[in-house]
Amino acid sequence: MEATIFRREDGSRKLNPQLFALWVGMASMIMLFGAFTSAYIVKQGAGNWLQFPMPWVFFVSTAVIVVSSITLHMAYNAFKTQQWSRYKALVLTSTFLGIAFMVLQYEGWLDLYASGVDLRANVGGSFFYLITGAHAAHVLGGITVLAITCLLAFTLPLKYAESRRNKIEMVLHFWHFLGGLWIYLFVFLNVIR
């Protein structure tokens, strides 16, 4: 959908409205996870709470999503400077790192389950699966747009266009958001147990 039919007469716009809309959407996601973590704190304060260490796999997945954010940012810079082969390689790497993150999250859940923390036994465990699962659901959305970006990088003729830069910028912001959100959740789940 061409949301940019509303371009100003002098061509200037302070902000791409689509990017702004994405930010507004991310604000609502922050509220969702804010609600989850607040409920976590309230419930934990009420007692009957199982303490368990976070499986080490989640430390690896954290590193992976951080690296993927960096590679995607480099890809964006490569697009801006029109280094096409570098751009393609970096977008592809980021997509694979994103998928690797999901695989690692899944491994983490399996580890946790194997250690005796299941979804039902205690609310502490339920919250862990709920929060990390809700994050993973959002990452799936992120991987989808990353995969599309990747596909377009390899199929569309590579040339610089402002509209295309806007779209890649949106993917980049969303992916950074997902990474930042994970770091928040990772620290939160480690500190407040």
Q: Looking at beta carbons only, is 77 or 122 nearer to another protein?
A: 122
DSSP secondary structure letter of residue 53? P
Q: Which of 37, 189, 166 is nearest to 109 (CA)?
A: 189
Q: Which of 179, 189, 133 is nearest to 26 (CA)?
A: 179
Stretch 74-113: interaction string toward another protein, x if CB under 8 A: ----------------------------------------
Q: Which of 70, 89, 99, 123 binds another protein (CB under 8 A)?
A: 123
Q: Looking at beta carbons only, is 87 or 109 nearer to another protein?
A: 109
Q: Which of 7, 12, 155, 162 binds another protein (CB under 8 A)?
A: 7
Burial class from Cβ neighbours inside 10 Å (0-12, 13-18, 19+) for residue 38 reads exposed
Shortest Cβ 2–another protein spacing (Å): 9
How wide is the angle at C-alpha 74 spanned by C-alphas 171 and 23, nearest 5°?
Answer: 30
Identify whether the C-beta of residue 48 lies closer than 8 Å to the C-beta of residue 157. Answer: no
Q: Looking at beta carbons only, is 33 or 84 nearer to another protein?
A: 33
34-63 binders of another protein (CB under 8 A): 34-36, 39, 42-43, 46, 48-49
Q: What whole-number distance in Å separates Cα of residue 168 and Cα of residue 141?
A: 15
Q: Looking at beta carbons only, is 59 or 129 nearer to another protein?
A: 129
Q: What whole-number distance in Å separates Cα of residue 65 and Cα of residue 54?
A: 17
> Interface with another protein by CB under 8 A: which residues?
1, 3, 5-9, 13-15, 17-18, 20-21, 24-25, 27-29, 31-32, 34-36, 39, 42-43, 46, 48-49, 119-120, 122-123, 126-127, 130, 134
